[in-house]
Structure 1
Amino acid sequence: MDVHGYRLSFITDNLFLFQPYNKEEIWIYKFSNDLFTKANTFHAKSDCEDFGTSFPQQFIKSKNIILAKNGNYIHLIKFDIQDNFEVHQSINFEDQCIYGQLSNNGQCLITWDRKSNFIQVRLYEKQ
């Protein structure tokens, strides 16, 4: 590879995501013919350089949701059985110093960010 990144996560045994450093993209890798190859790319806003190594991507299988931080943003990404990915919601914290985690069932997102200096709790609302 000619880039580096801070975040990767398996979604299935045959599919993982890689987030390259300083790009507004997330790359999708699929396993076929005995190796993983880049299959697709989708857009994920950033607005600044992302130095955050302590905010890993998180996958909630029961909701098919991925939590991914990129720069000032936290993205909730949905995907379907055909491995189509779509940014479902983006939250702009206006500062790159963000920490957070989804609950195991994906119902609750808890975050702390340097700008507000608050712990914030957001609940999942089905649309």
Structure 2
Amino acid sequence: MDEQPNTTHTWNVTVHGGAPQMGQGNTQNNTFGYDPAQLAAFAQQVLAAAHTTDVLPASRDAVTTEAEALQAELQRPQPDAGRVRTLFQKTAASAKANLPTLGWLGTAQAISLATGVPIGF
């Protein structure tokens, strides 16, 4: 009766793509998703291009409307990720359709790669 029961703990951990961490004091830093600063810079570049390029007023208005909507969403205290993605895609599509001579696609692709948000073309 004086013997203590032998307690054995068995840990089975399956890790896909990283090293397992157990115990207290571990911190997880997620670095995926969009970077609002990069998307704001993209919107600003599209706006600048719309105002400096010789395009029809209707084309300029279409691009400006989409880029300003993206900027407005990014300036909210808690931007909605789904809305940001949608507005980014609309801005990119509008710029592609209305500012074809700018060569803006390289900028859009670089931001897309950096943010992980597909441009969908």
TM norm structure 1 = 0.21
The structure with more radius of gyration: 2
More helix by share: 2
